[in-house]
Amino acid sequence: MLWPYLYVLPAIAAMGFAFAFPLVQVVRDSFYVGNFAAPIWVGLDNYSGVISDPEFRQSLLNNLKLLLTVPIMLGLGLAIALVLNDRIRGMRQYQAVVFLPYVLPATAIGIAFSFLLQENGVLNTALRNLHLGALAQDWLGSSHLAIVSVGGLVIWQQLGFGVVVFTAALLSLPPETAEAARIDGANWWQLQLRVLVPQIRPIIELLTVIQVVTVLTWVFNYVYVLTSGGPGYASSVMELYIWRSFSNGADGTAAAVAVMLLGMASVLIALSLWVRRRAVAA
């Protein structure tokens, strides 16, 4: 009876060494200050200090602002997938074009958008040449627009993933339901909104959770390359706050924020697993 467990024991040990031990270590370090060689116990002082830090509060607020990109990504992705589901000519080519940003390196995307969005960049130059200079803005240097620019980049990069997922879900539906709706006189909008979309609702819910987790925990590269969290810390996010804390030698502070971010992500991952079980059961 023990043989199966012995066979998987090396894999479990490797996963424990790679994930469990660092996780426990980070939680432990969040209760200390100083470097890791000579830590000093401070209890919950790191957490209270982080919560009272304006930069952290702004970083958390920016993460929450970026969550507004999720419904936009899902809405655009679903709309494009519904159009492509009509088997238009060149569907695969359109899918490839939309999906391409998702597989591009984050650093390359950030550098390209920095040239596009800087005050005298490609976008503002084009607007001025079209006599639309009133629309030209300091997209990266403005404290109000920097996080908006990051959000636009996240939408552009993640959109293709949603399109591919929704297209696959729509293609997996039985065609009989759509045919019956057409015979009953349903127009295109009724077919999409009342027949097809309700059938892929579990997939929509699952992708919503995945994108929320992505926005919370996977935007460091874009923020760092595009704005470095600036101006000031107007576009800073929690991941960037962790990196800055480590760079400044505040290891305990960085560990405390990492634990807080882990807690937020864990709740969302648990929700994702629950939604996935619902999707499988459906």
- What 3-state class would DSSP assign to 145? coil
Q: Is 84 helix (H, G, I), strand (E, B) or coil?
A: helix
Inside any domain, residue 83 = yes
How many CA atoms, within 13 angstroms, populate the side-chain half-sphere of residue 37?
1
In a domain, 33, yes or no: no
Segments in 54-200 forming alpha helices (H): 54-66, 69-84, 91-103, 106-117, 122-129, 146-171, 175-183, 188-190, 197-199
pTM (predicted TM-score)? 0.85
In a domain, 227, yes or no: yes
Q: Give a yes or no: residue 259 inside a domain.
A: yes
CATH of the domain at 171: 1.10.3720.10
Nearest C-alpha neighbor of 140 from the set 151, 128, 155, 129: 151
Q: Which residues contact 28 (CB under 8 A, 6 or more apart)?
A: none
- Gap between the Cα atoms of 44 and 242, Å rounded: 17
d(CA 183, CA 23): 57
User: Is 241 a member of any domain?
Assistant: yes
Residue 215 falls within a domain, yes or no?
yes
> In this predicted model, what pLDDT tens digit does every residue of 113-152 receive, in sequence order?
988 988 888 889 999 998 888 888 889 888 889 999 999 9
Residue 190 located in a structural domain:
yes
Q: Could you tell me which residue, 276 or 18, shows the higher pLDDT?
A: 18
Mean pLDDT value of segment 206-210? 86
pLDDT band at 20 (very low <50, low <70, confident <90, very high): confident
Mean pLDDT (the chain) is: 87
Cβ–Cβ under 8 Å, residues 127 and 136: yes
User: For residue 36, what pLDDT band results from cuts at 50, 70 and 90?
Assistant: low
pLDDT digits (tens, 9 = 90+) for 62-102: 999 999 999 999 999 999 998 888 767 777 788 788 888 88
Domain, as residue range, for 127: 43-281
* Amino acid at site 22: P
Cα–Cα–Cα angle for 108, 166, 219, nearest 5°? 30
- Domain count of the chain? 1
Strand locations in 176-238 (E): none
Residue 221 lies in a domain: yes
pLDDT value at position 148? 92
